[in-house]
Structure 1
Amino acid sequence: MRDLDDTDREILRLLLADGRRPYADIAERVDLSPPAVSDRVERLQDLGVIERFTVDIDGSTLRDGVQVLVTLRPDGHRVGDVRETLAGLDGVEHVFETADGRLLASMAAPDGEVRGRLAGALDMAAVREFSVDLLAGAEWTPALGDATIGIDCVECGNTVTEEGVLAEVGGERRAFCCASCEAAFRERYEELERGA
């Protein structure tokens, strides 16, 4: 399994700018044939680098409520639960967890009542601090830089390098750091399948 090269990164940049860009246009810009671009995009999907193609909506053109940034500091052992609940709320666009255990969420509150809305969904007793800031604007620009593939082996958790193996097991593409991890995973998977 090879790592990302400059052509892969440029394909990703072009797709980030316009996910509906025709492969012929991308091919012209990266000096490949359209089928070669298609193969690379498929490989990036198989590796999980591209999860899906989606619509990027300009929230400023829609009337969906007051845009706010919510900052929460849950009790340490509750950060994951609060983050998961927060991410599932209608109107929440992004949730970030900081290294010190704070959660930041950008969201639209249709009625402007953020505190009541969160209190109805979250166990506020698990939240030590809470603040809401009105957003004047927001922009999200994913940066690739010199990114490399950082996939973990599904068997042992080690990083999958160029010597790694990408194999289909149970109808899904899975990444392994080596052939022995693939064999161990496949054997255990087939054993569980026989026992089911």
Structure 2
Amino acid sequence: MNDLDETDREILRLLHADARRPYSEIADEVGLSGPAVSERVSRLREAAVIERFTVDVDRSTFAGRVPLLVDVAVEPGHATAVYAALREAAGTQHVYRSADARVVAHVSLPNADVESWLADALDTTVVADYDVSVLAASDWTNDLADADLAVACAECGNTVTDEGTSARFGGDRYRFCCPTCEARFAERYEELADGVDRTDGADGA
């Protein structure tokens, strides 16, 4: 599945608003049977449009917790590993990885000792620098516009249709509008991976 029809989009909107909503209730909303909705959700998960169902717990509401925004500058070649480590770290609520080797995490800690938190979560030798801000407020929108539900090609940004492809690189699934874009992405990914391997080898020499 690469192209989402209006029924898929409506199912995503309903689940995004309440992931616990029964399939039978969704079926009534979109005019399908419960099993048909279940099948569509399974296809959306297989296509990695839906990554997981989870409960969004606001840890900052717990007693003694300090809500923080931690902006980490990472040494070249280590942003993916740092992102993965902080995503699993105790107290993390949300985490983001930018194209310029920065990882930003919204965390809720029993104190503001970010240095110890980072040391527990990852190898801090790959951290070039970090900034910490105390959050005064945060919110997350449940709005999903039609434009947000168009699957974009990881290489060129065009909309992915039924003619598109998908592939996994480094444990993440990417979608492409055509085999040519997939091949270009794979070539650049391999070149980057080779460069990182050579750098790591030189550092270890």
SS at match of 2:131: strand
Shift of 1:3: 1.5
Contact 1:75 1:128 in 2 (8 A): yes
1:8-33 deviations in Å (ceiling 9; x for gaps): 11111101111121222212222233
1:1-196 alignment to 2 at 5 Å?
Answer: 1=1, 3-63=3-63, 65-141=65-141, 144-145=144-145, 146=147, 147-149=149-151, 161-163=161-163
Give the length in aligned residue pairs.
Answer: 164
Equivalent residue, structure 1, for 2:182: none
Shift of 1:4: 0.5
Unaligned runs of 5+ in 2: 167-174, 180-205
Larger radius of gyration: 1
1:73-94 deviations in Å (ceiling 9; x for gaps): 1222332333333233211222
SS at match of 2:106: strand
Residues 81/21 of structure 1: CA separation in 2 closer, same or farther (3 Å cut): closer
Q: CA RMSD in A?
A: 3.1
Contact 2:60 2:66 in 1 (8 A): no
Equivalent residue, structure 2, for 1:170: none
Percent of paired sites with the same residue = 46
Moved more, 69-78 or 55-64: 55-64
Spell out structure 1 runs of 4+ moving beyond 6 A: 175-178
Unaligned runs of 5+ in 1: 153-158, 167-174, 179-196
Contact 1:67 1:135 in 2 (8 A): yes
Shift of 1:6: 1.3
1:58-82 deviations in Å (ceiling 9; x for gaps): 3344336211000111222332333
1:77-133 deviations in Å (ceiling 9; x for gaps): 332333333233211222212222221111112132112322454444433321110
